[in-house]
Amino acid sequence: MKILIVLTSHNKLGDTRRKTGFWLEELAAPYYVFKDAGAEIVLTSPKGGEPPLDPKSNEMGFQTDTTRRFEADAAAKAQLASTVRLDSISPDDFDAVFYPGGHGPLWDLAEDRNSIKLIEAFQADEKPVALVCHAPGTLRHVKAADGRPLVQGKNVTGFTNTEEEAVGLTKVVPFLVEDELKAKGGHFTRTDDWGIYVMTDGLLITGQNPASSALAAKALLDLLNNNAASSLSRPESMRAVPFATTRFAAVRFISLNQRVTVLPPRLGLLALSRVRSAAVTLWSLPYWVRHPCRK
Average pLDDT on 181-202 reads 97
Q: Which residue has the higher pLDDT, 286 or 58?
A: 58
**What pLDDT score does 230 carry?**
63
Mean pLDDT over all residues of the chain?
83
Contact 21, 52 (CB under 8 A): yes
Cα-Cα end-to-end distance for the chain: 32
**What pLDDT score does 228 carry?**
72
Among the listed residues 197, 184, 216, 183, the one whose alpha carbon sits nearest the alpha carbon of residue 98 = 216
**What pLDDT score does 292 carry?**
33
Architecture of domain 2-227: 3-Layer(aba) Sandwich (3.40)
Type and span of the H or E element at 114: helix 113-124
Is it the case that residue 2 has pLDDT exceeding 90?
Answer: yes
Average pLDDT on 81-105 reads 97
List strands edge to edge, sheet with 250-254: 260-263, 250-254, 279-283
Contact 66, 100 (CB under 8 A): no
**What pLDDT score does 283 carry?**
32
The band of 257, judged by pLDDT with boundaries at 50, 70 and 90, is: very low
Average pLDDT on 279-287 reads 32
Among 113-122, 196-205, 227-236, the minimum mean pLDDT is found in 227-236
Going by C-beta distance under 8 Å and a sequence separation of 6 or more, which residues neighbour residue 183?
Answer: none
**Identity of the amino acid at 101:** G
Q: Residues 202-225: pLDDT tens digits?
A: 999 999 999 999 999 999 999 999
Confidence (pTM): 0.79
**What pLDDT score does 226 carry?**
86
Q: What value, to the nearest 5°, has the Cα angle with vertex 282 and ends 276 and 285?
A: 140
Domains in the chain: boundaries = 2-227, 231-283
**What pLDDT score does 246 carry?**
31
Cα(97)–Cα(51) distance, rounded to whole angstroms? 17
The band of 227, judged by pLDDT with boundaries at 50, 70 and 90, is: confident
DSSP 233: S
Is it the case that residue 50 has pLDDT exceeding 80?
Answer: yes
Is it the case that residue 183 has pLDDT exceeding 50?
Answer: yes
Count CB atoms within 10 A of the CB of residue 242.
Answer: 9
Among the listed residues 106, 174, 151, the one whose alpha carbon sits nearest the alpha carbon of residue 115 = 106
Is it the case that residue 290 has pLDDT exceeding 50?
Answer: no
**Identity of the amino acid at 283:** W
Type and span of the H or E element at 188: strand 187-188
Cα(253)–Cα(74) distance, rounded to whole angstroms? 41
Type and span of the H or E element at 85: strand 84-85
Is it the case that residue 124 has pLDDT exceeding 80?
Answer: yes
Contact 3, 44 (CB under 8 A): no
